[in-house]
Amino acid sequence: MLSLSKQSRNFFKLNCFSVTQIAKMSATSVTFPIINETYQQPTGLFINNEFVSAKSGKTFDVNTPIDESLICKVQQADAEDVEIAVQAASKAYKTWRFTPPNERGRYLNKLADLMDEKRDLLAKIESLDNGKALHCAKFDVNLVIEYFRYCAGYCDKIDGRTITTDVEHFTYTRKEPLGVCGAITPWNFPLLMFAWKIGPALATGNTIILKPASATPLSNLFTCTLIKEAGIPAGVVNVVPGSGRGCGNSILQHPKIKKVAFTGSTEVGKTVMKECANSIKKVTLELGGKSPNIVFKDCNVEQTIQNLITGIFFNGGEVCCAGSRIYIEATDEKWYTEFLTKFKETVEKLKIGNPFEEGVFQGAQTTPDQFQTVLDYITAANESSLKLLTGGKRIGNKGYFVEPTIFYDVPQNSKLTQEEIFGPVAVVLPFKSTEELIEKANDSDFGLGSGIHTEDFNKAIWVSERLEAGSVWINTYNDFHPAAPFGGYKESGIGREMGIEAFDNYTQTKLVRARVNKPAF
């Protein structure tokens, strides 16, 4: 049991939500394919610690990309439901902001413990809903748990500072929460993006309303059962699945929502900024990418090939920082050709298929639209007579499966080089000088991730300082840690996820300056 202060016990007494809602929702029984295990999936909106029906009564289908079959129907939130969630979050904020930081930390640690107990189930839900390979989902869940624990440990370390100005004043700052926050998350990492928004918001004393992607709401809704079990007070976390137009825009435009965190495409991110402008919100954006992954001739070849595979084919290539532009040193044509051959042979050994099959590395693309987009890029590459190293085809006729695909000797100005594909498609571009490499690597509107593979550490650091990217991985890729900040340069975003930098996104600074008069002695 958590040991709560009198202040927090009073919270429970006061937080009897008075806004009318319609009937509480029951869960739907869902069975995982192949392993035939069953679990209970909540399908309601999670508002004020209860699963409830949408005011409109509307639902939407959630299908699995594995075989395109229906998993369940989920309640569809719109503006009315967002309004109810805002009222709940606003009421909760009045007390949650003053809950002692160590108590907020205990709540988050309890949530992490409960997720740890359910980690296998959470990973299976993620794979079923998103289509990703089970090993990818397990990676996500582990990082989610560790990130909640990181946020829990940081709750009582969000400090202001004292400022020495003169002997006649006492001047200090406080880091204070913003209020009710909104979050809109994508379908490629449903649970991970949930944690990246919820964790720092709660740690800093904010309440939150989160809209998950309509394609993948299930792991978020299931985690809400654990939020309630952890004792996190009603109204602190609210999850409202719905459309971008009906639900998402209501979050962006609501005057009582003081901050919006968005993860998604750059084009939609621009719209988010515009919609938030009318009510002057704090906005953070984690957007698209077209990241360079650089291979020097002096690299560890076996390790580098594995890093390239992780960089582009992990999560089916549906990674905003995917290393999809692979620059390989070609000063030695023999070495370059041999490297490509080994790369091709290794990629062709990867198992693609149902995430619940043993040994699957790459699962399905998540949505039918994105699946078709990937195929369209491959068609465009073939029509442009780009050289195909491997892949390039759909797998099967049911589900959204695409072969890991690599084109090589691709021009810098190619559509496949310049545009984010968001799928298992990479382009290889040779380079012969470091100056040429730097110019080409930075020739992009994006600036999210990058990779460097070399045994020469001085070279790696020299190149890293010249890359226009928010993250540079050296002899590794897609290598995340809760304490390491993640975010983009240029059109890849504003603000940072994880690390101490994330907490700045959810706080504002108050100055207190007091005149100190000389006392009468």
pLDDT of residue 9: 45
Q: CA gyration radius for the chain?
A: 24
Catalytic residue among 275, 286, 318, 403: 286
Q: What is the pLDDT of residue 66?
A: 98
**pLDDT digit string (tens) for 362-374?**
999 999 999 999 9
Residue 434: CB partners within 8 Å, gap ≥ 6? Answer: 459, 463
- Give me the percent of the chain exceeding a pLDDT of 90: 94
- Residue 366: count other Cβ atoms within 10 Å of its Cβ: 27
How far apart, in whole angstroms, are the C-alpha atoms of residue 270 and residue 276? 10
In the numeric block, the tokens 């792991």 are attached to 219
Q: Which of 212, 163, 187 is nearest to 46 (CA)?
A: 212
Q: Is the predicted pLDDT of residue 3 greater than 90, yes or no? A: no
Is 76's pLDDT higher than 60? yes
Rounded Cα distance between 326 and 323, Å, is: 7
Single-letter code of the amino acid located at 491: E
pLDDT at 43 > cutoff 90: yes
- Cα(266)–Cα(242) distance, rounded to whole angstroms? 21
Give the span between the Cα atoms of 92 and 70, in whole angstroms.
36
Residue 341 identity (one-letter amino acid): T
| Residue-wise DSSP of 410-478 | --TTSHHHHS---SSEEEEEEESSHHHHHHHHT-SSEES--EEE-S-HHHHHHHHTT---S--EES-SS
DSSP H helices in 159-300: 190-203, 218-229, 249-253, 266-277
Alpha carbon 285 to its chain centroid, in Å, reads 11
Amino acid 520: pLDDT: 87
Q: What is the pTM of this model?
A: 0.94
- Tell me whether residue 501 is one of the annotated catalytic residues: no
- Asked if the model's pLDDT at residue 11 lies above 60, the reply is no
The model's pLDDT over 252-294, given as tens digits with 9 standing for 90+, comes to: 999 999 999 999 999 999 999 999 999 999 999 999 999 999 9
The mean pLDDT of the chain is: 95
d(CA 341, CA 344): 5
Average pLDDT over residues 398-417: 98
Q: Is the pLDDT of residue 159 over 70?
A: yes
pLDDT at position 26 is 75
Reduce the DSSP state of residue 369 to 3 states and report it: helix
Reported as a pLDDT band with limits 50, 70 and 90, residue 24 is: low
Q: What is the pLDDT of residue 17?
A: 38
Question: What's the whole-number mean pLDDT along residues 64-83?
Answer: 98
% of the chain surpassing 70 pLDDT? 95
pLDDT at 518: 87
Q: What domains lie within the chain, and their CATH numbers?
A: 27-287+497-507 (3.40.605.10), 292-481 (3.40.309.10)
Query: Please, which residues have CB within 8 angstroms of residue 20's CB and are 6 or more apart in sequence?
Result: none
